């Protein structure tokens, strides 16, 4: 019987060649690959054989209470409604009985068959992931070779959300007792607040993530478009399905899935033509690294109101334990700040579980690309202001008052 990985590579090659997917193997695994939305984020490919009287590594690794004993007590089941896609259980399973969802095969089929536009939205951590000589301009050309209509940098929408969060902070924080938690850009951070620290939700502005902002913007301007987010994070696959934001993003691919597609299509990325159209500020690009959101919002708040009586004071944490410790400090009254950023992965998105290169190298590549940006913050970024005008916002103040496109409603 073929393994999931063997079926995956065979099906991906057929899809990339424009052929009907036709393979022999376990029907359940084939259906998981062909129709990932019909299955949970985490796929069980082998029965659980851990002794029932011992602690299960997958259950111990889960911070969300998503892994529970099966009704017969002989194994474990994953509650997809509670799973945030952190993949800690996959990493903890030494028998490799668990695998993560893959969306690449239906995406490739869309690129061949869909008669409307299909846009790739790439997360800013992409810098350096496909080699030091693969620039953003070469990546844009390569994605068009694959059949995408165009490529947008999600860092542009990070700029827009930076503006929104800075305006929200300026509006809501006027005393030493008031504070705000970022709602950008990490789904694990938001899941932690929603599931474990619900009492802090009033301190989280109702903003979507840059991924969702990008998807909504594309669909506002091109209503029949398909949107494909590409990043280092499995949790984004869970985020796109959340009821209040579903529909903005049609598919989520990881960098590893995109690498697999480049491999079967034999594209030489370094030889691609350069199509560089930089639109993001260095602040938006910096969202890929831990502390990037807080730094961007702090600079923007200072630019919007340099004489604030209560200046912004940021505090940051990365990794689930670090985020929990910071939140517990807030609840204990030991805030030492009034704007708090949390990232679920150590190092931020560059340390995501589906990144290709090490987080230290990823951070250096992101910083180098950020230094090339034509503007430092979204306030200085003429493209952001022009994009907001295309969306119907005549002024930044109007954007804050009527920015329903970038709002979400937490339970």
Give the tens place of pLDDT for each residue, 348-393. 999 999 999 999 999 999 999 999 999 999 988 988 888 888 888 8
Cis peptide before 185 (omega within 30 of 0): yes
| Domain boundary assignment for the chain | 4-103, 104-411
Average the pLDDT over each of 113-117, 299-303, 305-309, 397-401 and give the range with the smallest value.
397-401
Percent of the chain with pLDDT over 90: 74
Whether pLDDT at 396 is above 80: no
CA distance 385 to 377: 12
Given a contact cutoff of 8 angstroms between Cβ atoms, the answer to whether 9 and 50 are in contact is no
Give me the pLDDT at residue 391, please. Answer: 87
Using alpha carbons, list the distances in angstroms from residue 115 to 112, 150, 325. 9, 14, 49
pLDDT at 397 over 80: no
Q: Give the per-residue pLDDT at 389.
A: 87
**Predicted pLDDT of residue 77:** 84
- Position 118 scores a pLDDT of 98
For the stretch 138-192, pLDDT in tens is 999 999 999 999 999 999 999 999 999 998 999 999 999 999 999 778 999 999 9
Half-sphere exposure of 310 (CA within 13 A, CB side): 16
CATH classification of 4-103 is 3.30.70.20, yes or no? yes
Q: Report the candidate in 61, 59, 80, 60 with the shortest Cα–Cα distance to residue 69.
A: 59
- Report the chain's mean pLDDT, rounded to a whole number: 92
Query: At residue 34, does pLDDT exceed 90?
Result: yes
Mean pLDDT to the nearest integer, 312-320: 95
Compute the CA torsion angle 395, 300, 219, 267 (nearest 10 deg). Answer: 140
Model pLDDT, residue 259: 97
pLDDT band at residue 328, thresholds of 50, 70 and 90?
very high
φ/ψ of 329, rounded to 5, equals: -65, -45
- Residue 301: the pLDDT is 94
Q: What is the pLDDT of residue 158?
A: 95
* 195 three-class SS: helix
Residue 398, pLDDT score: 81
Q: What is the pLDDT of residues 54-94, one digit of tens each?
A: 778 998 999 888 988 888 777 788 888 888 888 899 999 98
Residue 262: closest CA among 237, 284, 230: 230
What is the share, in percent, of the chain residues with pLDDT greater than 70?
100
Tens-digit pLDDT profile for residues 260-279:
999 999 999 999 999 988 78
pLDDT tier for residue 199 given thresholds of 50, 70 and 90: very high
Q: Are 252 and 236 in contact (CB under 8 A)?
A: yes
């Amino acid at each position: 019987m073929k393994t999931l990985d063997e079926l995956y590579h065979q099906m991906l090659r057929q899809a990339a060649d424009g052929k009907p997917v036709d393979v022999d193997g376990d029907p359940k695994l084939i259906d998981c690959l062909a129709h990932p939305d019909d299955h949970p984020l985490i796929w069980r490919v082998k029965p659980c054989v851990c002794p029932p009287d011992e602690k299960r590594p997958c259950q111990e690794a889960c911070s969300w209470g998503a892994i529970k004993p099966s009704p017969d007590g002989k194994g474990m089941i994953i509650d997809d409604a509670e799973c945030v896609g952190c993949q800690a259980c996959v990493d903890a399973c030494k028998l490799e009985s668990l695998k993560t969802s893959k969306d690449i095969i239906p995406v490739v089929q869309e690129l061949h068959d869909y008669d409307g536009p299909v846009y790739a939205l790439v997360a800013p951590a992409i810098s350096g992931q496909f080699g030091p000589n693969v620039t953003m301009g070469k990546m844009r050309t390569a994605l068009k070779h694959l059949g995408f209509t165009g490529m947008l940098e999600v860092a542009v929408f990070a700029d827009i959300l930076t503006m929104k969060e800075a305006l929200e902070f300026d509006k809501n924080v006027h005393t030493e007792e008031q504070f705000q938690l970022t709602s950008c850009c990490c789904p694990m951070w938001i899941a932690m607040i929603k599931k474990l620290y619900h009492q802090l939700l009033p301190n989280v502005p109702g903003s979507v993530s840059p991924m969702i902002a990008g998807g909504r913007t594309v669909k506002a301007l091109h209503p029949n478009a398909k949107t494909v987010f590409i990043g280092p994070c499995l949790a984004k696959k869970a985020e796109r399905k959340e009821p209040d934001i579903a529909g903005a993003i049609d598919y989520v691919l990881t960098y590893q899935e995109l690498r697999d597609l480049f491999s079967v299509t034999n594209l030489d990325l370094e030889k691609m033509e350069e199509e560089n159209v930089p639109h993001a500020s260095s602040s938006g690009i910096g969202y890929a690294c831990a502390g990037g959101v807080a730094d961007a919002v702090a600079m923007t708040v200072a630019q919007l109101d340099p004489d604030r009586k209560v200046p912004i004071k940021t505090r940051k944490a990365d990794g689930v334990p670090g985020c929990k410790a910071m939140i517990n400090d807030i609840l204990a009254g030991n805030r030492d700040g009034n704007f708090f950023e949390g990232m679920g992965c150590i190092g931020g998105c560059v340390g995501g579980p589906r990144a290709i290169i090490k987080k230290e190298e990823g951070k250096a590549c992101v910083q180098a690309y950020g230094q090339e940006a034509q503007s430092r913050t979204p306030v200085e970024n003429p493209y952001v202001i022009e994009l907001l005008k295309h969306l119907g916002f005549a002024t930044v103040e109007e954007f804050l008052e009527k920015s329903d496109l970038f709002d979400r409603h937490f339970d």
